[in-house]
Each structure stands twice: as structure tokens, then as C-alpha cells.
Amino acid sequence: MDQVNSTIPADAAFYRGVLDQISDGVYFVDRHRRILFWSEGAQRLTGYTGEDVTGHFCQDEILCHVDYSGKRLCREGCPLLACMRDGNPREARVFLHHKQGRRLPVLVKVQPLRGSDGKIVGAVEIFSDDSAQAETLRRTEELRKMALLDHLTQLPNRRFLEVSLESAMHGFQSMGMQFGLLVFDLDRFKEVNDRFGHAVGDRVLQETGKTLVASLRPTDVVARWGGDEFVALIHNANSDLLDVLSRRCTVMVNETAVAVEGDAVVRPSTSAGVALVRPGETAREVFHRADRMMYAQKAAVSGQRPAVSGPQLEAGSW
């Protein structure tokens, strides 16, 4: 046994190299939640390099972990902090903030790190992509071949959604398979284009689309309907599910943050409408019900938001 152990290098560089070969993200923190190590897998999943995060604290909210309700876990309910307090491992599904701005669902697993005296000196978090990325890539390639892909966002386009909606309607009429629609429209998106230019507006659309896909199930279809409007077709739906998914998407879009020149950050917000298919309806009628609800919500909140409430800048970045 001693001979076997002696063949394994004892220096830290060796173990760092091993961790960098893991496809999942890995990082260590000390008792104060200062990030001490950031793996190449973590960089690949988040877009942040080791230089971006090492030495910073989790509570600095670089990754800005939020749960499905949008609660900021770095401020309340941090799995790393809970793990170091009681020594018990944790597992949770959360959304992190990608460097490009979108929200990415990840499965996190946390374990305490102990010193030679058995006392907890920090914690390690391992996180993996929880967005069924392989299926998304496969679907994207199929749509590209069929000219059913939106060039800017790489989402299904309006034509694809219309065909999918008619297919869902046929399934409902023939077999009673319920479906629903979620319609999203970015609030005051024109202000982003006017102030920062269409290149920034395009980035906001791209990151919003990615956030919506990540917030829904792999079986749901998110399409760019046109302009700053997105539509999601939800299969096997009911009213409760539509409400849950609508709230989740709205929260995650509102948590999206796209960095622009200087220290400015554009934060999109969205209005949403939902509709569950009803007997005797056409596909067009289902869509119009959801669309009307979305515009009603937009009108209801427009007076409550500041002049740049729809994609907006963080305080102090004007």
C-alpha cells in the first residue's frame, strides 16, 4: 500500500490539474466564503475565469445564485454557509448568473472541508449544467437544417412555433392532450436600442432567449415570435403549471444582467401572458388570449415603473 501511495504526487498542482479535468464546475471557499480555487470546468460553465473570481467572496454576488422563486441565496439560504455551520452536505437546484448575462440552471453539491484537527476550514461546491444542454443542441441543429431557426437568438422561429402549435391543437382535439402558451414581451426595449444601439439590444435578446429556455422544461418549446416578443409552447399543461412557469420565467429574465460599456449593466424585465387551451378554440384564439393578458399586464405595471424600468441600468450606472 505504501508503494502505491508513493506513486501519487503530493503537491497541490497535481490535484488542481486533476480537478481541471472534471467537466463539472468545482470551487473552494474558506470560512468567510472567499473563493480560493476555481476550476476550468467552472470557467466553461459560467464564463468567469479564475482571475475574475478568485479572492472574491461569494457574498459579492458575482454568480448571484437565486432559487426558483428568485431569492438571492448569497444573502439568505446559502448552501455553502449552511454546510460550514453544521457540517452536513447540501444539494440544491439553483440558477447562477453567466458572465454574458443569462441565467443558467445548475445542480450544486456542497461538502465541508476539514483541517487536520477535524475542524471545518471551508467548503467545496461542485455544480453541473441542469438544462438538458445536449438535447437543446440537437434540436437547434435540426432546426437550422430546416430553416426554422431565428438567426439572432438561435431559437425556433415564428414559422416553427406556428407549425408546433397546430400540431399541439390536433393532439388536444383528437386525444385531449392539453397545452398552454406563455407570451413574453420585453418592457420598453426600444429605450435600450435608442440609448446603447442595436448591438446591445441584440445581446439582450440573445441572453433573454437563453434564460427562457433554461427556465422551462426540455419538452417545452421557446420561440422568438418577432422583435422583442417570445412565445413558449407548454405541453401536458394545466393552469397551475402555467402559472408556476410564467412566474419562474419572469423572475429569471428580471435577474438577467447584460454588461455594456464601462460599468453599465442592462437589466431586462418582461411582461407575460398565459393561456390554457379550451375546447372549441382555434390555435389563433389561444394565442390571442395569452397575448391580450400580456399587454394587460404591461399596461397595469407601466405606471409603477420608472422611466427606464424595462431593460434598465443598475443604480449609479447612468
Full-model pTM? 0.69
Residue among 187, 191, 194 at smallest CA distance from 305: 187
The helix, strand and coil proportions of the chain, stated in percent and rounded to the nearest 5, come to 40, 25, 35
CA–CA gap between residue 265 and residue 97 (Å, rounded): 13
**Residue 127 β-bridge partners:** 25, 108
Spatial CA neighbour of 260 closest among 207, 182, 181, 186: 207
Which CATH number among 3.30.70.270, 3.30.413.10, 3.40.50.1110, 3.50.50.60 corresponds to the domain 133-313? 3.30.70.270
- Domain locations in the chain? 2-129, 133-313
Full 3-state SS string of 80-132: HHHHHHHCCCEEEEEEEECCCCCEEEEEEEEEEEECCCCCEEEEEEEEEECCC
Alpha carbon distance 200, 51 (integer Å): 25
Q: Residue 299 CA to chain centroid, in angstroms?
A: 26
Q: What is the pLDDT of residue 243?
A: 95
**228 catalytic, yes or no?**
yes
pLDDT, residue 14, reads 65
Regions of the chain where pLDDT drops below 50: 1-10, 304-318
**Does the fold of domain 133-313 match that of domain 2-129?**
no
Q: Which pLDDT score, from 0 to 100, does residue 305 have?
A: 45
Q: What angle do CA 295, 213, 45 make, to 5 degrees?
A: 140
Convert the pLDDT of each residue in 7-38 to its tens digit.
Answer: 434 466 766 777 777 888 999 999 999 999 99
Cα separation, 265 vs 257, in Å, equals 6
Predicted pLDDT at 15: 65
CA neighbours closer than 13 Å in the CB half-sphere of residue 282 = 4
User: Which of the following is catalytic: 150, 228, 243, 263?
Assistant: 228
Q: How far apart are CA 128 and CA 80, in angstroms?
A: 16
Topology of 2-129 in CATH? Beta-Lactamase (3.30.450)
Torsion of CA 159, 163, 169, 173, to 10 degrees: 150
